[in-house]
Chain A
Amino acid sequence: MSGSKEIAEARKNGRAALDEMAWKSVLANFGISTPKSLLIQDVMQSADACAKLRAPLALKVVSPDILHKSDAGGVKVGLKSAAEVEEAVRAMMKLPAIANARIDGFLLEEMAPAGQEIVIGGLLDAQFGPMVMVGLGGIFVEVMADVAFRICPITRLDAEEMLDELKGAALLKGARGRKPVSRAAIVDALMKVGGEGGLLMTHANDIAEADINPLIVSETGAVAVDARFVLTK
Chain B
Amino acid sequence: MTSHQPPATSHIVEAFKPLFEPKTVAVVGASAKGAAFPNVFIRRIREFGYKGEIYPIHPTAESIDGLKAYRGLGETPNPVDYAFIAIPAAQVPPLLKDARGRVRYAQVISSGFGEVDEGKELQDQLAGAAREGGMRLIGPNCLGIYTPRGNITFAEIGPKEVGSVGIVSQSGGLGTDIIRRGLARGLKFSGLVTVGNCADVGPNDLIEFYLADPQTRVIGTYIESTKDGRRLFEILRKARGAKPVVVLKGGRTSQGRAAAASHTGSLAGDDRAWVALSRQTGCVLVETLEEFLDVLMIFQALTPRASHPMKRIVLFGNGGGASVLATDYFARLGLHVEPFEKEAVDALAALKLPPGTSITNPVDTPVGTLQQEDGRVAEKIVEIIQGIGKPDALVVHLNLSAFVGRTKPEVLDNLVKAALRVQERYPGQSHFVLVLRSDGEPALEERKREFRANAVALGVPVYDEMSNAGSALAALAAHERFVHSRSRDS
Contacts and interface: CB of A to CB of B under 8 A. Distances in A.
Contacts of A17: 261
Interface in A127-179: 127-129, 131, 133, 135, 141-142, 145, 147, 149-151, 154-158, 161, 165
A154 B489 CA distance: 12
A122 interface: yes
Given A147-B267, A149-B273, A211 B226 contact: no
A208 B268 CA distance: 12
A11 B339 CA distance: 64
A149 B268 contact: yes
Contact of A131 (B263, B268, B489): B268
Given A127-B273, A150-B279, A151-B273, A157 B489 contact: yes
Nearest to A158: B280
Nearest to A212: B264
Given A125-B229, A128-B233, A149-B272, A133 B267 contact: yes
Contact of B230 (A122, A129, A228): A129
Nearest to B275: A149
B333 to A, nearest CB: 16
Main secondary structure of the interface of B (DSSP, over half): helix
B282 to A, nearest CB: 12
Contact of A122 (B233, B264, B279, B485): B264
Contacts of A211: 262-264
A18 B259 CA distance: 19
Nearest to B226: A127
Nearest to A146: B267
A107 interface: no
Interface in B205-261: 226, 228-230, 233, 260-261
A196 B264 CA distance: 20
Given A158-B279, A158-B280, A131 B272 contact: yes
A21 B272 CA distance: 32
Given A149-B272, A149-B276, A151-B273, A128 B229 contact: yes
A213 interface: yes
Contact of B233 (A149, A151, A208, A230): A151
A213 B486 CA distance: 31
A21 B268 CA distance: 27
Nearest to A155: B489
B265 interface: yes
- Contact-residue bracket for chain B: 20 to 34
Nearest to A204: B230
A151 B276 contact: yes
Contacts of B293: none
B263 A125 contact: no
Given A133-B268, A158-B279, A230 B262 contact: yes
A121 interface: yes
A119 interface: yes
Nearest to A120: B264
A122 B267 CA distance: 11
Given A125-B229, A157-B486, A133 B273 contact: no
Contact of A145 (B226, B230, B267, B489): B267
B264 A151 contact: no
22 contacts: A17-B261, A119-B264, A121-B262, A121-B267, A123-B262, A125-B229, A127-B230, A129-B230, A131-B268, A131-B276, A135-B267, A141-B263, A142-B263, A145-B267, A149-B267, A149-B275, A158-B280, A208-B261, A208-B265, A211-B263, A211-B264, A228-B261
